[in-house]
Amino acid sequence: MPNQTLAPVDTVRNFMKLMEPLNYYEAEKLLSSDVEYINPPPIGTVRGPAGVRALLEPFFSPTIENEFRILRWAANGPVVTLERLDRHRLKDRWVELPVTGVYEVHDNRITHWRDYFDAATILSQWPAG
């Protein structure tokens, strides 16, 4: 990434845009080497870009298309909160999940990412792996 400084909300928005087509290679560039990504149980916490990818890549494998609609956002210094509607097209239907994500950004890199959602809502609609 060039030496330009982005507002934390722009870093997070760019990251979410890269995740729609599951462009892990480019999205990982916006994560710090020690990023912590936290999900509700039973999903749990992973660390580092490789941990994030190891969690998300198999989960998103049945998706044909993803859309992360940002409904509202707020930022206070390095902390960004997004209210999102995550939409995932599977072979036979769309699955939607309301999510609130809280991110912390330093030096154009996401250092902390916690998603809040009802895990049962998405897991009950997801294909068995």
Query: For domain 8-123, which CATH number applies: 3.10.450.50, 3.40.50.300, 3.40.50.150, 3.30.365.10?
Result: 3.10.450.50
- Of the candidates 104, 95, 106, 55, the one whose C-alpha atom is nearest the C-alpha of residue 75 is 104
Whole-structure pTM over 0.85, yes or no?
yes
**Closest Cα partner for 55 from 40, 41, 70, 44?**
44
- Amino acid 98 reads P
Nearest one of 24, 35, 23 to 108, comparing CA atoms: 35
Using alpha carbons only, give the angle 100, 106, 112 rounded to the nearest 5 degrees.
Answer: 40
Q: Give 11-47 pLDDT, tens digit per residue.
A: 999 999 999 999 999 999 999 999 999 999 888 999 9
